[in-house]
Structure 1
Amino acid sequence: MTSRNWYVIQCKAKESFRAAENLENQGFEVFHPFIQVEKVRQGKLKLIDEPLFPYYLFIHLSEVADNWRPIRSTRGVLKLVSFGHQPVRVADDLVEMLRERVAPQPEDYLKAGDRVLIEEGPFKGLNAIFQTKKGEERVILLLDLLQKQQRLEVPVKAIRPL
């Protein structure tokens, strides 16, 4: 079995998602870390996917078994990052650490009845019970206030599981 290494690809401006998709369609293993950011679009607050490293993504290649030629002509790709004429290798540990850091959002793995901690807003530091998602950006929690369970709607990014 041939050894595979991670390399860095520089993408054209605002085309890293396109480059990642086209490379994957060609059978390459690609890691394109992104985060979700709340932004106002058309007067509404929306979660937008933004690359963690604008203009860059990682590709897993073998120096022997893989055909590197199609990479350069892939839509969205500018070049394989190199020093001199040698492509830059990235440590496997770094890529694995990045994969862990950009793990799924809480609403992807929470289920009704799970306990959460509110980390932002006026109820910061209080424990609540996850009830359901409300759209893409918000969740509904049950919070014990005034000796009664109150329904509370908060942004997804404001909670974390306990």
Structure 2
Amino acid sequence: MIDQNYRWYPVYTHSRAEKKAYEELNRKAILAYLPLKKTVKQWSDRKKIVEEPLIKSYLFAYISAKEYAEVLMTNGIARFIYFSGKIASIPDQQINDLKLLLATDADLEVIDYDIKAGERVLIKAGPFKGMIAELVSVQNKQRIVLRLQNMGYSININTSVAFVEPLL
């Protein structure tokens, strides 16, 4: 049974403290999600694949209003994200979509501004089948843009325009 009082909330962390804050929330038995992407880091003598946060200084906590204070008292957590004067929450489906995106080998690009609404499309084929997105043209390439509501961030993914159809 899903508790209607629990929601996903975006939480802003201190700089470079995402993993530490995530571990602290887990120690407190608070369900959290830290989207990570694999990145190749180059040193002078070697290359290494490391996991970095997809969105710097953000993670998501699945809590009820009673747990706000407990989350804020967690090492590494700076504050909740507000939208229109209220603590922002993220729909479950968007968290599931984000998990699905990260489960693929797609080349993801996070942009730290909110893209203006374009044509809304349904992805009808490929690894993102069933997702709803906005279609924009970036540098002469067709790209799918999934908007994370109430956060001011968007995620670009490469996919064929043939895989989408307009929503009516």
Give the structure-1-normalised TM-score. Answer: 0.58
1:56 to 55, 58, 74: 58
The 1-side partners of 2:33 and 2:10 are apart by 10
Match of 1:29 in 2: 31
What are the equivalent positions in structure 2 for 1:48-127 lying under 5 Å apart? Answer: 48-63=50-65, 66-83=66-83, 85-103=85-103
Distance 2:43 2:75 in 1: 27
Question: Could you list the runs of 5+ residues in structure 1 that have no partner in the other structure?
Answer: 106-162
Identity of aligned residues (%): 20
Name the structure 1 match of 2:19.
17
- Counterpart of 1:89 in 2: which secondary structure? coil
**Alpha-carbon distance in structure 2 between the residues aligned to 1:15 and 1:104:** 25
What is the DSSP-based 3-state SS (H/G/I as helix, E as strand, rest coil) of the residue aligned with 1:14? coil
Aligned residues: CA RMSD? 1.9
Please list every run of at least 4 consecutive aligned residues from structure 1 whose deviation after the TM superposition is greater than 4 angstroms. Answer: none
Cα displacement (A) at 1:102: 1.2
1:2 aligns with 2:27: no
* Distance in 1 between residues matched to 2:33 and 2:44, nearest whole Å: 30
Larger Rg: 1
Q: Distance in 1 between matches of 2:56 and 2:29?
A: 23
Consecutive unaligned residues in structure 2, runs of 5 or more: 106-168
**What's the CA shift for 1:42?**
5.4
Residue correspondences, number: 103
Quickly say closer, same or farther: Cα 1:86–1:49, change in 2 above 3 A. Answer: same
CA distance in structure 2 between the partners assigned to 1:14 and 1:79 by the alignment: 15
Q: SS in structure 2 opposite 1:27?
A: coil
Aligned mates of 1:84, 1:91 — CA distance in 2: 16
Q: Could you tell me which amino acid in structure 1 is paired with residue 67 of structure 2? A: N
Task: Give the superposition deviation at 1:80.
Answer: 1.1
- Normalising by structure 2, we get a TM-score of 0.56
Residue 2 (structure 1) shift: 3.1
Do the aligned partners of residues 36 and 82 (structure 1) sit closer, same or farther apart at CA in structure 2, a change above 3 Å counting? Answer: same
**Inter-partner Cα distance in structure 2 for 1:10 and 1:48:** 22
